[in-house]
């Protein structure tokens, strides 16, 4: 099984999004965001080649995928 590494800057971004939802929406919205993030993370672990490389040319190495 693959190991997910969430980089420090990504952790900061996630915390800011969650704080924003708590402040300007509801705790339920924040919790739903967390659940959806975890589901997306788990899907990427299960199927690492999922998604389109349509925008891969934008990054060195062409590793970008979107879905």
**Could you give the number of structural domains in the chain?**
1
pLDDT digits (tens, 9 = 90+) for 2-32: 788 999 999 999 999 999 999 999 999 999 9
Confidence of residue 37 (pLDDT cuts 50, 70, 90): very high
Note whether 64 and 53 are within 8 A (CB): yes
Mean per-residue pLDDT, 39-55: 89
Q: What is the pLDDT of residue 30?
A: 98
Task: Give 18-46 as a DSSP string.
Answer: HHHHHHHS-HHHHHHHHHHHHHHHHHHHH
Check: CB of residue 45 under 8 Å from CB of residue 36.
no
Determine the structural domain holding residue 47 and report its residue range: 8-62
In a domain, 3, yes or no: no
Domain assignment of residue 2, yes or no: no
Q: Let me know if residue 1 belongs to a domain.
A: no
pTM of structure: 0.79
Instruction: Read off the pLDDT of each residue in 30-59 and give the average, rounded to a whole number.
Output: 90
For residue 66, what are the β-bridge partners? Answer: 52
Average pLDDT value over all residues in the chain: 91
């Amino acid at each position: 099984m693959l190991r997910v590494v969430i980089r420090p800057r990504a952790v900061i971004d996630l915390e800011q999004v969650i704080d924003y939802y708590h402040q300007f929406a509801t705790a339920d919205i924040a919790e739903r965001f967390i659940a959806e993030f975890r589901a997306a993370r788990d899907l990427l672990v299960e199927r690492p080649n999922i998604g389109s490389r349509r925008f891969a040319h934008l990054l060195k190495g062409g590793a970008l995928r979107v879905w």
